[in-house]
A and B are shown apart, each in its own frame.
Chain A
Amino acid sequence: MTFMQPANRPAGRGKKMKELLDLFVVFARIGGFTFGGGYAMLPMLEKEVVNSRHWATEEELMDYYAIGQCTPGVIAINTATFIGYKIKGIPGGIMATLGVIAPSLVIITVIAAFISNFMELSFVNSAFAGIRACVCVLIFSAVLKLGKKALVDKITVGIFAVVLVLSLFTDISPAILVVLAGAVGIIIKGRGKKA
């Protein structure tokens, strides 16, 4: 946890404010370019939070996503709160969350107020057809990277395969799948240790 080193501890109020502002700005940028729900945020989180700023590790990111699935609320918000809290405690959690929702508030309000025919604008549809193709690639490349960290043995590959099939072909809630996967982890790993 490099960010916990004394050198990075806030020296005073000014530094603290700057770090909070930093959280807000980074998460606002992520929120402003997350097209298509919380999962689409992953490639951006990986780049900004894991690679550039080292605010969290890839494993932690997976944990936050999984826990965000089975706790109430929007996944994107849950993940932002987790990371913000980890960096700067409760104010950090609040700032990261406000950051991630700020672009939505502005954009949706503007659309609701001024653009009544937003969906009929052909350039909007064209742009989004392009963005969707791009977002798929970004998500899969993020999954490949994170998968290396999560799928460490046969058991985890098995869990991955079962959850993938169930979530593609059944209506079972993701929350239930996550809880079951956690239970499997506890049972199999716990037993393995005793043996």
Chain B
Amino acid sequence: MIEMFIRFFGCGLFAIGGGLATLPFLYDIAEATGWFTFHDISNMIAISESTPGPLGVNMATYVGYHTMGVIGALVAPLALVFPSVIIIIGISKILDKFKTAAVVQNALYGLRAASAALIAAAGIGVAKIAFLGSEQMQEWSFSGLGQLINWKAVLLAAVVYGGLVKFKKHPIVYIVFSAVIGIIFHY
């Protein structure tokens, strides 16, 4: 159990850039300990993508449970987030102190634009999966493009957008609505 804590702690300490960045570390853990296989990892990715919550935490929980039951499912994710919490609290303290410094303000000015771009890129990534069919287009053509696009998903997105603009409800409302629509109409 201590070994598990240390391994996931290392994973949380060195994986920079979100959930998928933990993947190489998971492969390392799999190879070094034999707790789970590469096949398990791809299963985990699929399940993580279809359940709520951050990918890294989901994967740690899944691995933890499979190696050590409920205790593992607690220890692995806690070990994973432990380094972040310490680091972020440290950064917060520093930021509080130097918030008004011109250098910090100038850096943040650049950071915010990058942040917006990265989020937009993530949105485009999700859009590709949501609106394009899984089949590869053989030859470029407009009819091929028409078949490639998942029109049901596009329609749903349009409805959600309309609702968003008109009613300004909590995002959870739209998520639940879309899940129900998805189930009813066999998306």
**Residue A129 lies at the interface, judged by CB distance under 8 Å to chain B:** yes
Contact between chains at A62 and B50 (CB < 8 Å)? no
Contact between chains at A35 and B52 (CB < 8 Å)? yes
Q: Determine the chain B residues whose CB is within 8 A of the CB of A67 once the complex forms.
A: 88, 91, 111
Contact between chains at B115 and A62 (CB < 8 Å)? yes
Which of B13, B19, B61, B92 contacts A38 (CB under 8 A)?
Answer: B19
Q: Determine the chain A residues whose CB is within 8 A of the CB of B50 once the complex forms.
A: 35, 118-119, 124-125, 128
**Residue B32 lies at the interface, judged by CB distance under 8 Å to chain A:** no
Q: Determine the chain A residues whose CB is within 8 A of the CB of B127 once the complex forms.
A: 136, 140
Contact between chains at A119 and B61 (CB < 8 Å)? no
Contact between chains at B116 and A63 (CB < 8 Å)? no
Q: Known interface pairs A109-B61, A185-B109. Does A130 touch B156 (Cβ–Cβ under 8 Å)?
A: yes
Q: Determine the chain A residues whose CB is within 8 A of the CB of B14 once the complex forms.
A: 72
Contact between chains at A72 and B108 (CB < 8 Å)? no
Q: Determine the chain A residues whose CB is within 8 A of the CB of B112 once the complex forms.
A: 59, 62-63, 66, 149-150, 156
Identify which of residues 111-167 in chain B touch chain A, using a CB-to-CB cut-off of 8 Å: 111-124, 126-127, 129-131, 150, 153-154, 156-157, 160-161, 164
Identify which of residues 150-187 in chain B touch chain A, using a CB-to-CB cut-off of 8 Å: 150, 153-154, 156-157, 160-161, 164, 170-172, 174-175, 177-183, 185-187
Interface hub of A35, A103, A129, A186 (most chain B Cβ within 10 A): A129
Contact between chains at A66 and B16 (CB < 8 Å)? no
Contact between chains at B119 and A146 (CB < 8 Å)? yes
Which of B70, B115, B175, B183 contacts A134 (CB under 8 A)?
Answer: B175
Min CB gap A17→B, angstroms: 20
**Residue A21 lies at the interface, judged by CB distance under 8 Å to chain B:** no
Which of A47, A59, A156 contacts B171 (CB under 8 A)?
Answer: A47
Contact between chains at B111 and A178 (CB < 8 Å)? yes
Contact between chains at A111 and B51 (CB < 8 Å)? yes
Would you give the 0/1 interface string for A61-102, flagging 1 where the beta carbon is closer than 8 Å to chain B? 011011111111111111001100110001001100100110
Min CB gap B38→A, angstroms: 17
Identify which of residues 98-147 in chain A touch chain B, using a CB-to-CB cut-off of 8 Å: 100-101, 103-105, 107-109, 111-113, 118-119, 122-143, 146-147
Would you give the 0/1 interface string for B66-91, flagging 1 where the beta carbon is closer than 8 Å to chain A? 10001001100110110111011101
Q: Determine the chain B residues whose CB is within 8 A of the CB of A63 once the complex forms.
A: 108, 111-112, 115
Beyond A35-B50, A100-B54, A142-B119, 13 extra complex contacts between A and B, CB < 8 Å: A34-B52, A112-B61, A118-B50, A130-B153, A130-B180, A137-B174, A138-B171, A159-B117, A160-B113, A175-B16, A182-B107, A189-B102, A189-B110
**10 tightest A-B CB contacts, nearest first:** A130-B182, A185-B110, A73-B84, A104-B53, A181-B114, A134-B178, A129-B187, A163-B117, A189-B106, A66-B111
Taking beta carbons and an 8 Å cutoff, which residues of A are in contact with B? 29, 31-44, 47, 59, 62-63, 65-78, 81-82, 85-86, 90, 93-94, 97, 100-101, 103-105, 107-109, 111-113, 118-119, 122-143, 146-147, 149-152, 155-157, 159-164, 167-168, 173-175, 177-178, 180-186, 188-190, 193
